Amino acid sequence: MKSGNWQEEMAEKKKIGDWNVLDLREDGETSPEIVYLLEPMSGAVPSCVIFFLGGAVLGQFPHIAYSTFLERIATKMNAAVVAVPYEVNLDHFNIAQRAVSRMKNAVIECEDSRGYPAELPKYAIGHSLGAKLHGIGIAATGIGEELAGVGFVSYNNFGFAETITMARSFAKEMQVGNDFGFGAGSSMPFDALFDLAGMAVSAVGLEFTPSPLDMDRIVESKFDGGVLKKTRM
């Protein structure tokens, strides 16, 4: 639907902060392929499209957890923001592959149904694990050649054991132990839970794919000069 009425309708019905839910699943697919789209309130064609991937856990709800941050970007740049949610698991290759697929399908949807020009510049911003996922996607698919710029915020390439250590520190700061009854008087002290988790990880050798070392190698070998020049951390 590329009618001129699109701009008028968007100006009347949408304002900044109104997220559109796009289900990009194809005919025959049963699982939803959701992205969240934030468009400029001006009603004009966006100046660019920004693909956003959030951090672990928060990345499942980017339109909520990062709403203020993304609204400011959309307003300042007159940009359309495509926030791609994902569920956390150990296979970061798979998460990144699905994210790239959704980004490409979102572009097609916005061009076909919302009148976005094909020549709009595309940018990628990732926070924490989202930055790593963008890095994997760029290295594995070559999508970096199509991007005008890449922004990594608090790039996270920690291993699984390090992630548990970080979770322990975060939980202590938030005083989760007291909230859930794992204080000094508990039969299973709060710290002991993380010690047990750490030992279990070491015993069975759980690790993310790619591992931190493999991810470093991927970046070194696949990020060429052109991609590096337009990447900011």
pLDDT tens across the length of the chain (233 residues): 444 565 555 544 445 558 999 999 887 777 889 999 999 876 778 999 999 999 988 999 999 999 999 999 999 999 999 999 999 898 999 999 999 999 999 999 999 999 999 999 999 999 999 999 999 999 999 899 999 999 999 998 887 656 555 555 555 555 544 554 444 444 445 555 545 444 544 545 567 889 999 999 999 999 988 999 999 98
Beta carbons of 121 and 77 less than 8 angstroms apart:
no
Q: How far apart are CA 107 and CA 82, in angstroms?
A: 9
Strand segments (E) across 24-182: 34-38, 49-53, 80-83, 122-127, 149-153
Q: Tokens for 197?
A: 């988790």
Beta bridge partners of 21: 36
Q: Give CA 88 to chain center in angstroms.
A: 11
Q: What is the dihedral of CA 178, 182, 184, 186, to 10 degrees?
A: 140
Q: How far apart are CA 158 and CA 189, in angstroms?
A: 26
